[in-house]
Chains A and B, each alone.
Chain A
């Protein structure tokens, strides 16, 4: 229910709706986009970043909050953990129970490896579960992996590692086929053709979806398959440090029971980090669309063991986080709302941009509209613009919203807002970690042998900005691939004596660099006690 303060603006939006539906706003030129990003995108605010002074990326800038964790103390010391009696001894250890971890575990199991998953919450408590809009794959006759490549490469500012991106786009159709064969229900017409839409920055309609529960449908199916295969899942257990062997290869992890704080050792021939993103770090004070455990743990673990980061200074702020009411502040409003025809409208009822620019450009444009063009409405949680959802029903016909985006309808309905009849208020929310650990196409880190990374913890697949629908895709493509390669690699690996000497060495580096800090990492969970804002 909208309060009195929004009435005039709502009336203006309604009055202009018919005219706004007919409008076809121009897309920005490359120069316009560059200027906009430099002035308004959070990644370009230099005062929000620190320069790392120790570790593989010394000299590179990362957000203050991440810098603090990367240069923090370990939760353990080399002496405090007994490595001689591991509680678990497996071929492949998967750290993380989201879409990438589950895909990796399924493939490693299919390859005959003894694989287990550890996860600090439950399997499926992950950003995958919350991905709404869809998954890209160039499988229509008017499309091709090459066109998909150009869309993603340009959208990521020509910074993606081409060998990773080409794998992403070429393996995409097979990823959809694999998910279908597991029973994932994609939206199809009566003849079996995929119902596909645009995402921001796509030049072909290649967004496959399962209503607006796309990630949930994928995640619950993968979880069911993991359980059917009886792959052990050790839940409420966080990896707090990687273990290496005496030849420097990844060989397991120190685990901590999240409830009892008991420490356990997992020994493994190969390790897959699939720990996800960092939204709960609330960079620059932004709210987030991410799940509770998104605290960049994998970046910390990998970094301390010697793995290098790529593009860790680039974050994705999803243009449309819910800005009202308070209870859902920062929650994701899927891009699919715009794919289906809703436009962004300022407080005066004016459409101020093309609704399907890439996410970084769209977010920056909304920030500009509020900060410098007097187009935002004050909500009590800062400013916001309208996303005119009733347009969808007028364009697609009555019932479109309920059929295509039921989760969005339900989310706002709980607060008395019928998105079929009334627009919603949105503002950018911290959504995705574009950067992460550097990998080669087989998923291994170049600097730490037998350490694989998959999913949001990887950097370089998307460059410096990611297109909608390419993350659900990357967790499947690179998750499966990491599982296959880690299983193969385990076959010819002999683990030497386990060691945590890298933890001691990192502590010494901190000391030598004169870094004095009380911070310990990985963070594991945010602390919201007495901080109800998020």
Chain B
């Protein structure tokens, strides 16, 4: 017989198999999910969840699809959090720290409590990447925040009202567009294609009988 645990979904008690995730446990209990369920694989941030184990004072945060249930787990999902997302034009946004001052000035009100980092469902050093953003060190902010799934738990715990995932998103786009080195071979290839350098080759492939294409495919060189 499979082992069972007791969990509390929004305070209500259910018995569920111990090997389920919080998400599949909710479904086992009978919830047909609409909100709070996206990729089911830890990439989309739809299923941010807050929980506490009975007898433990500490409030923990996780992704419901990535966390196994525990006995006496009190669970509340956080399917939406009102993050602040400022609009900007990526073509003119610039790369100086003034960008952050203009769009997300609240990051300078960070009191250093580290609640964001402690609550991060991906285990990221959130307070550190905000510090990088404050200093206009967008490359470091981008690297430190790269694995963010934008679930919003950090912001829900922040006394300064910072929308950490959106700050990081801006830093990554600035880094990707302006600060990362340009790619010469890519620019060359786009130009060659526009100049028609491959038109004849492709045209020939379009016309070739399938048997000839099979020969080509089955005997092609494969780069080591």
Contacts and interface: CB of A to CB of B under 8 A. Distances in A.
A144 B193 CA distance: 10
B41 interface: yes
Interface in A103-142: 121-122, 124-125, 129-130, 137-142
Given A183-B175, A530-B28, A162 B41 contact: no
B201 A146 contact: yes
B190 A177 contact: yes
A331 B44 contact: no
Contact of B223 (A176, A183, A204): A204
Most A C-beta atoms less than 10 A away, residue of B32, B123, B180: B180
Interface string B157-181: 0000000000001001111110011
Contact of B177 (A180, A230, A259): A180
B149 interface: yes
Q: How large is the interface on A (under 10, 10 to 19, 20 to 34, 35 or more residues)?
A: 35 or more
A414 B33 CA distance: 24
A255 B46 CA distance: 22
B30 A163 contact: no
A177 B209 CA distance: 33
Given A407-B147, A529-B32, A532-B27, A122 B46 contact: yes
Interface stretch (B5-13, B51-59, B82-90): B82-90
Interface in B15-66: 17, 19-21, 24-25, 27-28, 30-35, 37-44, 46, 66
A129 B44 contact: yes
Contact of B202 (A27, A146, A258): A146
Nearest to B220: A203
A183 B177 contact: yes
A352 interface: no
A119 B199 CA distance: 38
A173 interface: yes
Contact of A183 (B122, B176, B216): B176
Given A139-B186, A182-B177, A220-B150, A331 B90 contact: no
A292 interface: yes
B43 A532 contact: no
Interface string B113-131: 0000000001100000000
A462 interface: no
B87 to A, nearest CB: 5
Contacts of A139: 183, 185-186, 189-190
Interface string A326-366: 11100110000000000000000000000000000000000
Contacts of A326: 19-20
Contact of B185 (A163, A184, A193): A193
Interface residues of B, number: 71
Most A C-beta atoms less than 10 A away, residue of B87, B189, B222: B189
A154 B205 contact: no
Contact of A525 (B34, B122, B184): B34
Interface stretch (A14-22, A85-93, A221-229, A502-510): A221-229
A534 B33 CA distance: 14
Given A216-B43, A291-B39, A292-B37, A140 B185 contact: yes
Contacts of A289: 41
A396 interface: no
Contacts of B213: 150, 153-154, 158
Interface string A42-53: 000000000000
Nearest to B47: A292
Contacts of B181: 188, 190-192
A281 B30 CA distance: 20
Most A C-beta atoms less than 10 A away, residue of B24, B182, B221: B24
Nearest to B148: A220
Contacts of B217: 150-151, 153-154, 158
B20 A144 contact: no
Contacts of A308: none
Contacts of B89: 228
Contacts of A188: 180-181, 183
Contacts of B31: 529
B179 to A, nearest CB: 10
A407 B17 CA distance: 27
A449 interface: no
A154 B214 contact: yes
Contacts of A170: 193, 198, 202
A173 B183 CA distance: 11
B193 A216 contact: no
Contacts of B87: 227-228, 230
B38 to A, nearest CB: 4
Interface in B131-157: 142, 146-147, 149-150
Given A149-B202, A158-B217, A217-B172, 9 more contacts: A146-B202, A185-B175, A192-B183, A203-B221, A220-B150, A292-B39, A292-B40, A327-B24, A410-B123
15 contacts: A121-B46, A124-B38, A139-B185, A140-B189, A166-B206, A192-B180, A194-B185, A213-B43, A217-B146, A227-B87, A292-B33, A292-B38, A292-B40, A525-B33, A532-B20
Interface of A: 27, 29-30, 121-122, 124-125, 129-130, 137-142, 144-147, 149-151, 153-154, 158, 162-163, 166, 169-170, 173-174, 176-177, 180-186, 188, 190-194, 198, 203-205, 211, 213, 215-217, 220-221, 224-225, 227-228, 230, 236, 258-259, 289, 291-292, 325-328, 331-332, 406-407, 410-411, 414-415, 525, 527-532, 534
